[in-house]
């Protein structure tokens, strides 16, 4: 019997629940700003790292979605995800430019993917980041924890300046979850924002576990946004929200974007949506977070 193609492969059992979620809100679908598509060899290495519960993960992390690229695209589309990203990130110098070439090609052949790009603190970043912007990149990814670098490194100053001037969001894993490293936490990004106050910083994973401190940054800088990636789920850094912090998150309705971390999540996609529903901030909040804010920011 021939292997199933993406078109006829069985839909995951959670598909109906995902679609029911956004249909019940009267939305045309979801926009997921934190998904990962990248070269196969890099993805294989990342999967192996998760499988080994590496030191930057600190716990068992059984990946839920291991399909090939075309099947993963079919899954997202079957869920009703209207737009998503291909967030790739380097862990050492000399990787970012080739990753940007790959993600540019991926966006060209995948119309529902937002053209994504990345960078690393290296002299070449001052030229390849503007080149990626010129080529149409609409969102950038930085991973301070994996990269092991200070986001306030002077080599990144022209990068942040370029992104601030262009108004292009940068999704940055800068919180200390799941494992802290020397440059995670709010202080390094606060130094960046002091120099580039209009930078559209999207704090990945809601900055957990330092969500309060990152909310404080959002109070100081109107350009600071958050993505919900794995935040408040049963698996990842679940925290109790005091009433005062719940109120702050509810009031940030127009600055929060839905993200899932698909496919590198250890639970079903529905877990991300259930976590947001449990916050009980109302349907208008869910509509803004799961579609409206990203649609406005990215012109979708």
**286 domain residue, yes or no:** yes
Q: Tokens 């492969």 belong to which residue?
A: 9
* Residue 34 pLDDT > 60: yes
Better-predicted residue by pLDDT, 59 or 223: 223
CB 235 within 8 A of CB 266: yes
**44 domain residue, yes or no:** yes
For 251-282, the pLDDT digits (tens) are 999 999 999 999 999 999 999 999 999 999 99
What is the per-residue pLDDT for 3?
43
**156 domain residue, yes or no:** yes
What is the per-residue pLDDT for 2?
37
Task: Report the percent of the chain where pLDDT is more than 70.
Answer: 96
User: How many domains, in total, are found in the chain?
Assistant: 1
For 177-202, the pLDDT digits (tens) are 999 999 999 999 999 999 999 999 99
CATH number at residue 196: 3.20.20.140
CB 145 within 8 A of CB 181: yes
CB 38 within 8 A of CB 99: yes
**4 domain residue, yes or no:** no
- List the domain range (segments joined by +) for residue 125: 15-298
Q: What average pLDDT is seen over the chain?
A: 94
Helix pair 186-195, 211-220: axis angle to 10 deg: 10
**123 domain residue, yes or no:** yes
35-39, 48-52, 75-79, 272-276: the lowest-pLDDT one:
48-52
What is the per-residue pLDDT for 59?
84
What is the per-residue pLDDT for 60?
87
For 217-244, the pLDDT digits (tens) are 999 999 999 999 999 998 876 677 899 9
* Residue 61 pLDDT > 90: no
What is the per-residue pLDDT for 11?
87
Contacts of 7 (CB under 8 A, 6+ apart): 74
* Residue 157 pLDDT > 90: yes
**Residues facing 257 on adjacent strands:** 227
**115 domain residue, yes or no:** yes
d(CA 65, CA 10): 14
What is the per-residue pLDDT for 4?
46
d(CA 162, CA 170): 11
CB 192 within 8 A of CB 162: no
Q: Rounded mean pLDDT of 156-172?
A: 98
What is the per-residue pLDDT for 238?
63
**3 domain residue, yes or no:** no
The torsion angles phi and psi of 70, rounded to 5 degrees, stand at -65, -35
What is the per-residue pLDDT for 7?
57
What is the per-residue pLDDT for 55?
85
Q: Rounded mean pLDDT of 46-56?
A: 89
What is the per-residue pLDDT for 134?
98
């Amino acid at each position: 019997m021939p292997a199933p193609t993406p078109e006829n492969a069985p839909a995951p059992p959670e598909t109906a629940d995902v679609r029911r979620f956004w249909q019940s809100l009267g939305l045309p679908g979801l926009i997921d700003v934190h998904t990962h598509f990248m070269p196969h060899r890099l993805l294989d290495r990342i999967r192996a790292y998760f499988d080994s519960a590496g030191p930057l993960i600190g716990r068992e992390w059984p990946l839920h979605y291991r399909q090939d690229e075309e099947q993963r695209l079919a899954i997202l589309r079957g869920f009703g995800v209207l737009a998503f990203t291909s967030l790739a990130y380097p862990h050492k110098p000399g990787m970012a430019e080739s990753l940007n070439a790959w993600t540019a090609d991926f966006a060209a052949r995948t119309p529902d993917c937002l053209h994504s790009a990345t960078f690393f603190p290296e002299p070449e970043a001052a030229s390849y980041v503007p080149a990626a912007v010129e080529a149409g990149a609409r969102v950038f990814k930085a991973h301070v924890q994996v990269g092991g670098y200070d986001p306030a490194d002077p080599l990144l100053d022209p990068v942040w300046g370029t992104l601030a001037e262009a108004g292009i969001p940068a999704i940055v894993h800068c919180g200390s979850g799941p494992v802290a490293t020397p440059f995670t936490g709010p202080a390094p990004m606060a130094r960046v924002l002091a120099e580039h106050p209009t930078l559209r910083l999207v704090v990945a994973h809601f900055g957990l576990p330092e969500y309060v401190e990152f909310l404080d940054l959002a109070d100081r800088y109107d350009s600071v946004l958050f993505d919900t990636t794995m935040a408040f789920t049963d698996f990842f850094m679940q925290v109790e929200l005091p009433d005062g912090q719940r109120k702050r998150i509810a009031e940030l309705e127009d600055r929060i974007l839905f993200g899932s971390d698909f496919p590198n999540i250890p639970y079903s996609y529905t877990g991300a949506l259930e976590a947001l529903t449990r916050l009980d901030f109302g349907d208008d909040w869910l509509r803004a977070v799961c579609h409206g804010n990203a649609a406005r920011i990215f012109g979708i």
